[in-house]
């Protein structure tokens, strides 16, 4: 068994969550419950590297809430991962599944290792070691992992295999984001991007924005940012003029040829110097005078210090927690609309939910079924958040926390966990 921390580290929820709790008259005792995960598991993974060395890296699984269904959340392989980050992200997952109104809770996992530099065989060893360490805390009705930063469908396939070896029976619903041939779902790879696009479309209707094309800058050209760039480039209402990776950004005033840029990145490992583009720094990209800024990279990218530079009118959080709480308040004072992560990026976990349903039923849906069902859930979540924001006269993030917390509180009350 992995070690259990007896006093789990607290969840750092954004200021907007605290405002939502106040508006919902959440008392101190319940507030305490919201600030702590149900369980925190920790382990040291021993990994044999290809060069013959053995390294030992810390890993975590944090289960925040299962009041609304089995714990659910991705696993990241990143050199900056620590317990505080995994704990906060586990909390965000519970609010995301509640905003999406799907019958799942929230959890998160992480390994402190640079996933980008691992060979396929090393990545497989990390994936299997993670499941050997935490498999007993997982299960299709207990806790269901998924991909996150630097983990992908192949990683999920190895994790499934290791889990099934452990329990001795087939159990595809233990993990989502699997390869299609290992009972993954149609549309899972592009789900977060497509969900983000549906949110953006709905936002334009809601704000009655008729102008087009709207210019877009995207921070992050990974699966999520790159996927959204592709979708937006197929819609004449949008024009993607800049996109970045971890090293560099590229820009073209009249719009990028996204397929070209993605191909260049595939070939050279970076977007830098893609044909017919100008190179920019990451901070220059954040400061572009665009209509929409999409944050699809890491946490804490827009801070109290650099928020002054942001000129976009709309900020879409496709990554988890890319805008700090201090920056959030300042952006809101400047009338910049921030669409929060717990609404903007729910597409991934919603299609994970569909994958889990298909696994439990052993009956598989078409890509168009997935898209129709995803759109329905996103539109409803958007409308619920917009209504809560209007009723309480608050920004979208506070509105989203009001929706999520109300659903969590109702479940906790009906279970008798709170009164
Ligand atoms: N890692 C994704 C997220 O942060 C997906 C999680 C899931 O599908 O469980 O939302």
Indicate if 229 and 295 belong to the same structural domain: yes
Domain enclosing residue 254, as ranges: 191-335
Evaluate whether residue 348 is within a structural domain: no
10-37: average pLDDT: 92
pLDDT in tens, 149-175: 999 999 999 999 999 999 999 999 999
96-100: average pLDDT: 98
Evaluate whether residue 400 is within a structural domain: no
Evaluate whether residue 79 is within a structural domain: yes
Indicate if 22 and 139 belong to the same structural domain: yes
Give distance in angstroms: CA of 174 to centre of ligand 1: 14
* Residue 66 belongs to domain with CATH number: 3.40.50.10860
Evaluate whether residue 381 is within a structural domain: no
Evaluate whether residue 136 is within a structural domain: yes
Q: Which residues are catalytic?
A: 108
Give distance in angstroms: CA of 293 to centre of ligand 1: 22
Long-range residue pairs from 179-185, CB within 8 A, at least 24 positions apart, any chain = 179/153, 179/154, 182/156, 182/157, 183/355, 183/358, 183/359, 183/364, 184/153, 184/156, 184/355, 185/351, 185/352, 185/354, 185/355, 185/358, 185/364, 185/365, 185/370
Phi, psi of 335, rounded to the nearest 5 degrees? 60, 30
Evaluate whether residue 32 is within a structural domain: yes
Indicate if 287 and 195 belong to the same structural domain: yes
Evaluate whether residue 50 is within a structural domain: yes
Indicate if 168 and 247 belong to the same structural domain: no
Indicate if 157 and 197 belong to the same structural domain: no
Indicate if 9 and 139 belong to the same structural domain: yes
* Residue 214 belongs to domain with CATH number: 3.40.50.720
Name the band, by pLDDT with cuts 50, 70 and 90, for residue 32: confident
pTM of the model: 0.96
Task: Provide the domain count of the chain.
Answer: 2
State which ligand 1 atom lies nearest to the alpha carbon of 349.
8
Q: Among 153, 110, 69, which Cα is nearest to 353's? A: 69
Indicate if 64 and 144 belong to the same structural domain: yes
What is the overall mean pLDDT for the chain?
A: 96
pLDDT at 9: 77
Evaluate whether residue 143 is within a structural domain: yes
Higher pLDDT, 134 or 2: 134
pLDDT in tens, 314-370: 999 999 999 999 999 999 999 999 999 999 999 999 999 999 999 999 999 999 999
Q: Ligand 1: does its nearest atom lie under 6 Å from the Cβ of 72?
A: yes
């Amino acid at each position: 068994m992995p070690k259990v921390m007896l006093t789990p580290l607290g969840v750092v929820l954004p200021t907007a969550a605290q405002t939502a709790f106040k508006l919902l008259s959440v008392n101190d005792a319940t507030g305490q419950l919201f600030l702590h995960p149900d369980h925190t598991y920790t382990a040291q993974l021993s990994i044999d590297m290809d060069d013959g060395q053995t390294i030992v890296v810390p890993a975590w699984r944090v289960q925040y809430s299962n009041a609304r269904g089995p714990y659910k959340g991705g696993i990241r392989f990143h050199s900056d991962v620590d317990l505080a980050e995994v704990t906060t992200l586990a909390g965000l997952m519970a609010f995301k599944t509640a905003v999406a109104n799907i019958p799942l809770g929230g959890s998160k996992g992480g390994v402190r290792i640079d996933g980008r530099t691992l060979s396929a065989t090393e990545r497989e060893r990390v994936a299997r070691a993670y499941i050997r360490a935490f498999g007993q805390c997982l299960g299709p009705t207990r806790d269901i992992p998924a991909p996150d930063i630097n983990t992908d469908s192949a990683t999920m396939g190895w994790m499934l295999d290791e889990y099934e070896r452990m329990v001795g029976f087939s159990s595809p619903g233990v993990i989502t984001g699997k390869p299609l041939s290992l009972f993954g779902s149609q549309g899972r790879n592009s789900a977060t991007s497509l969900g983000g696009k549906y949110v953006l479309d709905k936002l334009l209707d809601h704000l009655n924005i008729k102008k087009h094309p709207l210019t877009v800058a995207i921070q992050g050209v990974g699966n999520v940012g790159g996927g959204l760039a592709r979708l937006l480039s197929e819609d004449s209402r949008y024009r993607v003029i800049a996109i970045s990776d971890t090293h560099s950004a590229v820009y073209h005033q009249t719009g990028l040829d996204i397929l070209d840029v993605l191909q260049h990145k595939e070939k050279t490992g970076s977007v830098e110097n893609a044909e017919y583009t100008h190179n920019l720094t990451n901070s220059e990209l954040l400061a572009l005078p665009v209509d929409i800024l999409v944050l699809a990279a890491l946490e804490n990218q827009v801070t109290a210090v650099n928020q002054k530079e942001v000129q976009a009118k709309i900020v879409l959080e496709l990554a988890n927690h890319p805008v700090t709480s201090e920056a959030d308040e300042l952006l809101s004072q400047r009338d910049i609309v921030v669409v929060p992560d717990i609404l903007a990026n729910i597409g991934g976990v919603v299609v994970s939910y569909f994958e889990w349903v298909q696994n439990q039923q052993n009956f598989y849906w078409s890509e168009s079924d997935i898209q129709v069902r995803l759109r329905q859930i996103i539109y409803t979540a958007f409308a619920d958040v917009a209504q809560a924001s209007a009723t309480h006269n608050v920004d979208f993030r506070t509105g989203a926390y009001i929706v999520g917390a109300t659903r969590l509180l109702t479940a906790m009350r009906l279970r008798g966990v709170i009164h």
